């Protein structure tokens, strides 16, 4: 999910599917049943002097406007090669849905794989 570019001095980035990875982890662990939208994320500069801030933070909210659920996700520890990355998740609010929660729309590779399964 986190990519370091070894060819550049200060390049690093998150994989474009990071939203799907977070959503899948939160739903499989049964922490959340809402369909999440990630409106804001921040990846700190690689050689930033702000050492007390997490490398990655993001905010999420339920796609349903009437549901007050919001999440704040932050990287808990610095990245160490060869080890798992730990994230701290804060969930505020309780889910309030009139009907069953809608699923997230499929994107990119997932949509293509789903289409190929239906064709077969």
Q: How confident is the model at residue 6 (pLDDT cuts 50, 70, 90)?
A: low
What is the rounded distance in angstroms from the CA atom of residue 100 to the CA atom of residue 97? 7
Q: Which of the pair, 25 or 9, is modelled with greater confidence?
A: 25
pLDDT in tens, 40-50: 888 887 777 77
The answer to whether residues 31 and 91 touch, using CB atoms and an 8 Å cutoff, is yes
How many C-beta atoms surround the C-beta of residue 46 within 10 A? Answer: 14
Helix boundaries (H) for the chain: 18-28, 109-119
The residues facing 90 across adjacent strands are 72
pLDDT for the residue 22: 85
pLDDT for the residue 108: 73
Residue boundaries of the structural domains of the chain: 2-119
pLDDT in tens, 65-119: 888 999 999 988 877 778 888 889 999 998 887 766 566 777 777 777 777 787 7
pLDDT for the residue 91: 92
Q: How confident is the model at residue 11 (pLDDT cuts 50, 70, 90)?
A: low
């Amino acid at each position: 999910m986190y990519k370091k570019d070894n060819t550049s001095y200060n390049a690093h980035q998150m994989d474009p599917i990071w939203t799907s990875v977070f959503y899948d982890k939160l739903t499989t662990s049964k922490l959340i049943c809402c369909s999440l939208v990630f409106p804001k994320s921040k990846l700190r500069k690689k050689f930033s002097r702000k050492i007390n801030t997490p490398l990655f933070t993001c905010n999420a909210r339920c796609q349903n406007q009437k549901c007050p659920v919001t999440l704040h996700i932050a990287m808990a520890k610095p990245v160490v090669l060869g080890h798992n990355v730990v994230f701290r998740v804060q969930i505020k609010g309780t889910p309030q849905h009139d009907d069953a929660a809608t699923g997230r729309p499929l994107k990119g590779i997932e949509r293509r794989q789903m289409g190929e399964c239906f064709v077969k």
